[in-house]
Amino acid sequence: MSTSPRISTVTPVEPALLIEDANSLDWSESADVLVIGWGAAGACAAIEARSQGASVLVIDRFEGGGASTLSGGVVYAGGGTPYQQEAGFSDTPEAMARYLAKEVQGAVSEATIARFCADSVANLRWLEDQGLRFDARMPAHKTSYPPKDKFLYYSGNEQVPAYQVGISAPAPRGHRTLGEGQSGKELYTALRAATLRAGAVPLTQTTVRRLVRQRSADGQDGPVLGVQVWALPKDHSETLRHAQLHAQVARWRLVRPAKAMACRREAAAIEQRIAQPRFIRALRAVVLTTGGFIYNPEMMAAHAPHAKRGWPVGAAGCDGSGIRLGQSVGGQTQGMDNVSAWRFITPPSAWPRGLVVNTQGARFCNEEVYGATLGHEMITHQGGRAWLILDRKLRAQATRQCLWGGLWAFQSVPALTLMWLHARKAPTIAALAARIGADPQTLQNSLDQANAAAQGQGEDPVGKSTGMRQAMPEGPYFALDISIGSPVFPLATLTLGGLLVDESCGLVLDAQGAPIPGLYGAGRAAVGLASGRYVSGLSLADCVFSGRRAGKAATSGTA
C-alpha cells in the first residue's frame, strides 16, 4: 500500500453549523430520527424509534457493527432470567442492583441502576424477540470468557468476598449470545437484521462531520436540526475498495496491527478523495452512538496517557467522533480519563492462586478479582507494572489447564508463552526478588503472609477467599511479567467516558446541566452504567438499555 502515513484515520469533525431558518438549507433527505453509528446501541435505538412509529435513518462510516461485532457478544443480565433459573440460581433486581452499585462507582445514579436491573429480564427477552439466543450451560471454573459450549458465567466480581457484602448469594449474570466462535458477530448480525426488518433505512460508508443547530434571531441556541455527512458514491469503484479495507482492518487488528493501520489509512484516503457532502434533516432528533475514542491518539494523549501502551479494544470507528460532535454544540463530558484495562489472569484457573505483586514485591490486589479490576489497580496505582508469582506446582497445573482444559487459543497461547519462554526463574524468593528488581524482604513478607493464610493461620491480607488460597512453601519460583505493554501478554484497553446525558431519557447535557434539544447519546459515546468499572457484558447491556431509552425518547423530542 502506498498511502502516506501522514493521513489521519480519525473522523474530521467540524464546528456546528448555526442557522436561523431550517428551510435555508438544501436538505438532501430527512427522517424523524437520525441515528449516528450502527453498532449495538445504534441498532437498539433505531429499532425502538421505529416501534414508536418514527421514520429512521441510521448512518455509519463503514458497514455497521462497530465494536459490538468484534466483542464477545456477552450481555450482562440478571434479576431472575430464565437461564439463571434453569442453572439453579436465584437472583433478584435488588440483589443485582446492590452488586452493581459497587462496580458502577457513581457513574450513574442509584435510580438508574435500579431501573436497569428492574428492566434486565425484559431487555433480555426483547433481545430474543430481535433474534438473539442464549443458553444456561456454565463453565466449571471462573474464566474471562466461557468455552465454546458454555454461555452463562460469572462475568464480574460476583464471587469475590469484598463484593458480597449485603448480598445473600452470588449469581452468574454474563449471558453469552448463542453461536459459533466468539459471539459478537452473532449478536450484531441479529440486531442488524432486526434493524432492517423494523424499517430503518441504513446509510453506510457515510461519515457525519458536522451537526446543524438552529439559532434564533436573539442569538440563543435552539434544537439540533440535522447533520452534514460526507458519503461515498455507491457507483464508484473505490467505494467497494473502502468496504474491503474495513473488513481487512477487522481481520488484522489483533494479529498484525501495523497492517490494520495501513488499511485504515488507505480507507481514510479514499474518503478524502471521493466522499460527497450533503445535509440530512432530523425532524425530531439526532442520536449519537458512535462508541468511544480508543483509536483517537490526540484524545488518548489528552485524557488517558497512562493507558497509551495498552492493546486497544474497539473498531476503526471508535475515534470519539460522536463525543466530539456533542462537544461541538456544547455537550459536557465526564470520565474521559477512565480507561478499562483488562489484565485477566484467569484462565488458567491456577494463576489466581499465585501472588500478584508490584515492582517492590508487595501485593496490592486480590488475585481472584475480575481482570478489569486488577488492571485498573495496576495502571492507576502501580504505574502499569506488576508480576505474577507461581511455584512449580502452580505452573504445572496451569500448563495442564492450557493444554487440555478446553481454553480458547487467545487464552492458552499467551499464557503458555509467558510461563515457558519469558518467565524469570529462581530457586528462592530472595533470588527471585533480585531477578525482578524487587525488595527481597517485601517479597518474602508477601509470600509468608499468603502462605500463613493458605494454611489457616490468619486472614489473607488482600481478601482472597479461602478456596483460592494455595501455599507456596518452596521453590523454584517463577515471575511472570503481566505489565501493560507486554508484547507476549497484551493488556486490552477500552475508553469508558463520554457525553453526559440526562439519565431519564438520554438527552445530551451542556456545561450548565441543561439538555441540548434534539440531541441524544447512547452506548460508549455517552456516560452509562459501564463508565465506572467495566464488567464483561455490562457495556453491551448498557447499549441495549441506553439505546432503547434514547430511541424511545427521541421520537417525542422530550424526556
| CATH number of the CATH domain containing 433 | 3.90.700.10
Q: What is the mean pLDDT of residues 346-365?
A: 97
Report residue 405's pLDDT band, with 50, 70 and 90 as the boundaries: very high
Closest CA to 77 of 175, 180, 143, 154: 175
Q: What is the CA radius of gyration of the chain?
A: 24
CATH classification at residue 503: 3.50.50.60
* H runs (alpha helix) in 280-408: 297-303, 321-327, 371-381, 392-404
The strand order across the sheet containing 492-495 reads 311-312, 492-495, 339-342
Span 268-291, pLDDT tens digits: 999 999 999 999 999 999 999 999
Query: By the 8 A CB rule, do 498 and 531 touch?
Result: yes
The helix (run of H) or strand (run of E) holding residue 167 is: none
Asked if the structure places residue 427 within a domain, the reply is: yes
Work out the mean pLDDT of the chain and round it to a whole number.
95
CA pair distance 75, 543, nearest whole angstrom: 10
Q: How many domains does the structure of the chain reveal?
A: 3
Q: Kindly state whether residues 451 and 306 are assigned to the same domain.
A: no
Cα(542)–Cα(527) distance, integer angstroms = 10
The answer on 507 and 405 residing in a single domain is: no
Give the N- to C-terminal CA distance of the chain in Å, as an integer.
49
Q: Alpha helices, DSSP H only, in 179-293?
A: 184-198, 237-252, 257-274
Residue 219 maps to a domain:
yes
Domain boundary among 481, 504, 523: 481
**Residue 416 belongs to some domain of the structure:** yes
Cα 92 to Cα 86, 95, 137, 175, 187: the distances in Å are 15, 5, 20, 16, 25
Q: Are residues 408 and 357 in the same domain?
A: yes
Same domain? For 439 and 368 the reply is: yes
Tallying the residues shown for the chain, one arrives at: 559
Statement to judge: residues 26 and 83 lie in one domain = no
- Are 330 and 295 part of one and the same domain? yes
Residue 467, pLDDT > 60, answer yes
Residue 487 within a domain: no
Who wins on pLDDT, 557 or 525? 525
pLDDT class for 3, splitting at 50, 70, 90? very low
Say yes or no to pLDDT of 110 above 70: yes
Residue 255 burial (C-beta neighbours within 10 Å; 0-12, 13-18, 19+): exposed
Residue 1 predicted with pLDDT over 50? no
Residue 329 has pLDDT above 90, yes or no: yes
Asked whether residue 118 falls in the same domain as residue 132, the answer is yes
Beta strands in 99-191 (DSSP E): 152-153, 174-176
Q: Report the share of the chain in percent with pLDDT over 70.
A: 98
Spell out a b/e string for 415-444, using b for 16 or more CB atoms within 10 Å of the CB, else e.
bbebbeeebbebeebeebbeebebeeebbb
440 found inside a domain: yes
Q: Give the domain range for residue 538.
A: 17-71+184-233+280-340+496-556
**Residue 331 and residue 350 in one domain:** no
Residue 379 has pLDDT above 60, yes or no: yes
Quote the pTM value: 0.95
Instruction: Flag whether 315 is in a domain.
Output: yes
Q: Are residues 397 and 466 in the same domain?
A: yes
438 and 409 part of one domain: yes
pLDDT digit string (tens) for 426-453? Answer: 999 999 999 999 999 999 999 999 999 9
Determine, yes or no, domain membership for 259.
no
pLDDT surpassing 80 at residue 165: no
